[in-house]
Amino acid sequence: MDWDDLRFFAELVRQGNLSATARQLRADHSTVARRIDNLERALKLKLFDRLPRGYVLTAEGERIAERMGALEEAVFAIQRLEGGEAAIEGRVRISAPPAFASLWLVPRLAELRRRHPGLVLDIIGATAAASLVRREADIALRLSRPEDSALKARSLGRLRYGLYGTRDYLDRTAEADRVFLAYDEELDASPQQRWLRKVTGGRALALLANDLVSLISAAKAGIGLAALPHALVVEEKALVCITQSEEATRELWLVYHQDIGRSARIRAVIDHLVAITQPLR
């Protein structure tokens, strides 16, 4: 049996279909199917029923899946111990909110690469939190503090929001006629969205989006006013902040698994992240 086939099995159990599993493992769906076929032949067991709606575990597959949790945790624990070497080189995966990753974080990583050219920085911009236990990322920047006691968390500062629009839009639109741009209903609980709802005074929203980059683009296009983090738009000459509030604030957290913090390359990246976020504190 190829032990790596178990990794594909475990992910397919979580995802339930080939496409999602392939995306998660950065493989193609035919590779996933082949790995599962190999595992079934090696074990001489049928692990999944192939149905139109996806892969469904058989009774034998369920028995294997029940034992995978302990096996995965043992493997992940060993992986987290890797990298205690003194050399600052190799791959470091950093998970961060998509807009923050692309607009703020990536432009500030150049100095880190100049100091340590052996580093390979893998940036994972995703709204869903990457699992640090399963090594989906080595380091995460999050807007909420994790509750898992195995994870180390450090506050890096605060993202403060203001109400932004273009100077042209503000000049040509009477205050009573101004419209607003907001997140969709899935993000209504966020502090900046709650504050924006107060600012609108019940007026209708002109545009809804599920990502911050779209809101920034819409505000720059002169469609209306949006609650945007100062740090991400401070260099946007076209945008003007007309009001702000401390209640529209998100705390930024640096998170990593306690086992991996001994790695020299991980420490180098952590130290750099702490340094570049100094203006947020």
pLDDT band at 60 (very low <50, low <70, confident <90, very high): very high
Assess whether pLDDT exceeds 70 at residue 84.
Answer: no
In angstroms, the CA 35 to CA 16 distance is 15
Domain spans of the chain, in order of start: 4-81, 90-158+252-280, 159-249
pLDDT digits (tens, 9 = 90+) for 13-44: 989 999 999 998 989 989 999 999 999 999 99
Q: What is the mean pLDDT of residues 237-256?
A: 96
Residue with the larger pLDDT of the pair 81 and 276: 276
Of 98, 143, 151, 126, nearest to 24 by C-alpha is 126
Tokens 């419209």 found at = 179
Q: What is the mean pLDDT of residues 184-195?
A: 94
Assess whether pLDDT exceeds 70 at residue 258.
Answer: yes
**135 neighbors 80 (Cβ within 8 angstroms):** yes
Q: How far is CA 111 from CA 24, 88, 205, in A?
A: 30, 14, 41
Cα maximum dimension of the chain = 73
pLDDT digits (tens, 9 = 90+) for 191-236: 999 999 999 998 889 999 999 999 999 999 999 999 999 999 999 9
In angstroms, the CA 209 to CA 187 distance is 10
Residue 44 φ/ψ region, left for φ over 0, alpha for ψ in the -120 to 50 degree band, beta for the rest = left
pLDDT digits (tens, 9 = 90+) for 86-101: 668 899 999 999 999 9
Examine domains 90-158+252-280 and 159-249 and report if their fold is the same. Answer: yes
Pairing relationship of beta strands 225-229 and 119-125 according to DSSP bridges:
unpaired
Q: Identify the pLDDT of residue 254.
A: 97
Tokens 């900046």 found at = 192
Q: Identify the pLDDT of residue 121.
A: 97
From the options 3.90.245.10, 3.10.20.70, 3.90.180.10, 3.40.190.10, give the CATH code of 159-249: 3.40.190.10
For the chain, helix, strand, coil in percent to 5 are 45, 25, 25
Give me the residues paired with residue 257 across strands.
151
Query: What does the block give as tokens for 281?
Result: 């504190």
Query: What does the block give as tokens for 87?
Result: 């050399």
pLDDT digits (tens, 9 = 90+) for 130-179: 888 888 899 999 999 998 888 999 999 999 999 999 999 999 999 999 99
Third-level CATH fold of 90-158+252-280: D-Maltodextrin-Binding Protein; domain 2 (3.40.190)
Write the class of the CATH domain 4-81: mainly alpha
Q: Is 216 exposed, middle or buried (0-12, 13-18, 19+ CB in 10 A)?
A: buried
Q: What is the DSSP letter of 138?
A: S
Tokens 């791959």 found at = 91
Q: Is 186 helix (H, G, I), strand (E, B) or coil?
A: helix
Q: How many CB atoms lie within 10 A of CB 124?
A: 17
Mean pLDDT for the chain overall: 91
Q: For the residues of 46-100, what is the DSSP string, one character each?
A: --EEEETTEEEE-HHHHHHHHHHHHHHHHHHHHHHH---SSS--EEEEEEE-HHI
Helix (H) or strand (E) holding 193: helix 191-200
What predicted TM-score, i.e. pTM, was given to this entire model?
Answer: 0.73
In angstroms, the CA 28 to CA 21 distance is 9
